[in-house]
Amino acid sequence: MRRCLKWLVATAVVLPVSGLLIAWLGIIHVGATGGHWAVTEWFLHWTMRSSVRTAALGIEKPLGFENASSIQIAAVHFEEGCAECHGSPVGRRSAEVLAMLPAPPDLRASIGGWKDEELFVIVRDGLRYTGMPAWPGGGRDEEVWAMVAFLRELPGMNAARYQELSGDDASERSPFSSCLSCHRQSAQGSDESIPVIAGQTEPYLTQALHAYISGKRKSGFMEVAVSKFEETDIAAAARHFADLSTQLSAKVTTPVADERVIALTQTGDPLKKIAGCNACHDGRNLRYPLLGAQSRSYLRQQLLLFRENRRGDSATERLMSQAVRNLSDEDIDRLAAHYASIRPAEAPR
């Protein structure tokens, strides 16, 4: 028994010390030339697959995540944030990327072996020690699902279809045509999760862009889209989109309003401590966003984010979260439908 214990103690000391010694001597090859041994390669991939499979067990797939507008937004993001490493139906990859270890796979060939939930885990969390990054907007799972929906279509996608989804709006000659790939003018009138920014107030647009750049407002799509913005770009973009004032009112439909909506917008619901929306959103304070004619599903999604305190952590965010934290799901649906259907308030210019 005593001998056994001695051996155990000796092994417990000798093993880590020899490990440290080998590392210190510098004989472990860390260069990326020549690739891994076949057995190392097999082991690393086996570990990665097992880890992803286990992490995916707790993931629940949302119904209907494969909708067309999500796929289109994700395609624009893919071109900006993923194609450089993974390639695309229209672009070739650089020699540097192909020399990475492991080299990023061509996803058209490789993703067939993954389930949706597993792709979700890879895209949300990234892959440690490989160069594969995590999703920038932490906590915005619906954005990650949009990317999964796009990835599912990617293997069968030809160059023309990819270009149509991800390319700039060629009819638009503006310094901000890259923004219009997602914030499409033609999107107005349809019910997409992307906000209409044309015609929004300049101070609010400025504040929103700052919030994404500083990471206070989380959105992987937007954080990547403005990652190269300087102060002057923020000011120019805010002015440019605020000046397109006619666009926002162009998509007004038949107004949707009932007693509950009228009460909520005008006086709120004092018993539930819900403030009347018009007190702030009547267009007089330019720092508060105009809501009229905004996309319905975007309004709904943002109200849910505010109610759950997930939209960000600025002072103005708290003002709004306080005002709406007791709205019911039904109130939110009605208010979103209402504002999507009316003209934006006249903001003083």
Cβ within 8 Å of residue 341, ≥6 positions away: 252, 253, 254, 255, 256, 293
Cis peptide preceding 133, ω within 30 of 0? no
Nearer of residues 49 and 161 to ligand HEC, judged by Cβ:
49
Nearer to ligand HEC, 24 or 129 (CB): 129
Residue 158 to residue 176: CA distance in whole angstroms: 27
Shortest Å, Cβ 324 to ligand HEC: 5
141 binds ligand HEC (CB under 6 A): no
The CA distance from 135 to 345, in Å, is 36
Kindly indicate which of the ranges 21-29, 56-64, 251-259, 314-322 contains the residues binding ligand HEC, using the contact rule CB under 6 A. 314-322
Pick the binder of ligand HEC from 56, 69, 71, 73 (CB under 6 A). 73
Calculate ∠ Cα 325-292-207, nearest 5°: 65
DSSP 200-243: --HHHHHHHHHHHHTTSS--HHHHHHTTT--HHHHHHHHHHHHH
Q: Which residues contact 72 (CB under 8 A, 6 or more apart)?
A: 165, 182
Q: Which tokens go with 9?
A: 């103690």
Question: Binding marks (x or -) toward ligand HEC, 202..221, rule CB under 6 A?
Answer: ---x-xxx-------x-x-x
Interaction with ligand HEC in 246-305: which residues (CB under 6 A)?
264, 274-275, 277, 279-281, 288-289, 291, 299, 302-303
Q: Which residues contact 146 (CB under 8 A, 6 or more apart)?
A: 65, 70, 71, 73, 74
Backbone φ and ψ of 223, nearest 5°: -60, -40
Could you tell me which stretch among 16-24, 55-63, 79-87, 243-251 binds ligand HEC (CB under 6 A)? 79-87
Residues 6+ positions from 226 with CB-CB distance below 8 Å: 209, 212, 213, 233, 234
Distance in Å, CB of 298 to ligand HEC, minimum = 7
Which of the stretches 23-31, 167-175, 244-252, 310-318 binds ligand HEC when contact is defined by CB under 6 A? 310-318
Number of residues counted as binding ligand HEC (CB under 6 A):
69
- Binding residues for ligand HEC (CB under 6 A): 48, 73, 76-77, 81-82, 84-86, 100, 102, 104-105, 107, 110-111, 119, 122-123, 127, 130-133, 147, 176, 178-179, 181-183, 194-195, 197, 200, 205, 207-209, 217, 219, 221-222, 225-226, 237, 264, 274-275, 277, 279-281, 288-289, 291, 299, 302-303, 311-312, 314, 316-317, 319-320, 323-324, 335
